């Protein structure tokens, strides 16, 4: 398998989530109510799987390796666009989190914001994925030898193995922070023994 095969497989799962977000936007339009739990789960998926895991492999491994190659101007331009789109996805996701939190607190302005940020994500990802799948990934593999591609695939698998630990270390740290706040302990450092 080429490294891009793994990335393209991840795209298929991201597309499934984006389709669900699109359905949720339709549901909000019908009911005039958002589902905070759905939004929270979608944000968790986008932040952990789409961004940290998938975009992480692209930015921390593929793009980093490509930066050492003499890229054609077109490929260099597309890579820059992809990095900008990753940053845009992060901003939209952060804005969606803020809108969701405001909605839970009862803000009437939050519902249109939720719809807006969800719609922006559903517009961004399909074009982004198509650009990678059809215009970037295959030509980029030409810059790497078979051995370099095999090494990159190994690095992708190692990257993935670390992700579950990173995710749940953050979960526990957040839980410790919440427990510390509930106990009146204010510290930036996670509390041990809680």
For residue 76, what is the domain's CATH number?
Answer: 1.20.120.520
| CA pseudo-torsion sign 56, 136, 3, 18 | positive
On whether residue 98 sits in a domain, the answer given is: yes
Asked if residue 194 has pLDDT above 50, the reply is no
On whether residue 11 sits in a domain, the answer given is: yes
Domain that holds residue 58: 3-146
What pTM value is reported for the model? 0.86
- Rounded-to-integer distance, Cα 131 and Cα 122, Å: 15
On whether residue 25 sits in a domain, the answer given is: yes
More confident residue, 83 or 192: 83
Say what the pLDDT of residue 191 is.
46
On whether residue 103 sits in a domain, the answer given is: yes
| Residue-wise pLDDT tens digits, 138-150 | 999 999 999 999 9
Domain count, the chain: 1
On whether residue 180 sits in a domain, the answer given is: no
On whether residue 160 sits in a domain, the answer given is: no
On whether residue 153 sits in a domain, the answer given is: no
On whether residue 155 sits in a domain, the answer given is: no
Say what the pLDDT of residue 40 is.
96
For the chain, the distance separating the N- and C-terminal CA atoms, rounded to the nearest angstrom, is: 45
């Amino acid at each position: 398998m080429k490294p891009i095969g793994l990335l393209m497989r991840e795209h298929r799962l991201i597309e499934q989530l984006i389709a669900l977000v699109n359905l949720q936007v339709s549901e909000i339009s019908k009911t005039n109510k958002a589902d905070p739990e759905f939004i929270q789960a979608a944000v968790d998926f986008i932040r952990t799987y789409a961004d940290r895991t998938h975009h992480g492999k692209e930015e921390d491994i593929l793009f980093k390796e490509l930066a050492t190659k003499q890229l054609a101007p077109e490929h260099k331009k597309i890579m820059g666009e992809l990095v900008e789109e990753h940053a845009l996805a992060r901003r939209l996701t952060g804005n969606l989190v803020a809108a969701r939190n405001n909605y839970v607190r009862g803000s009437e302005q939050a519902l249109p914001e939720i719809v807006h940020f969800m719609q922006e994500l559903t517009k961004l990802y399909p074009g982004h994925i198509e650009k990678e799948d059809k215009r970037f990934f295959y030509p980029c593999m030409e810059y790497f030898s078979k051995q370099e591609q095999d090494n990159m695939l190994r690095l992708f698998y190692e990257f993935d193995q670390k992700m579950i630990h990173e995710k749940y270390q953050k979960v526990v740290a957040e839980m410790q922070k919440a427990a510390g706040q509930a106990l009146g302990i204010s510290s930036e450092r996670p509390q041990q023994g809680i």
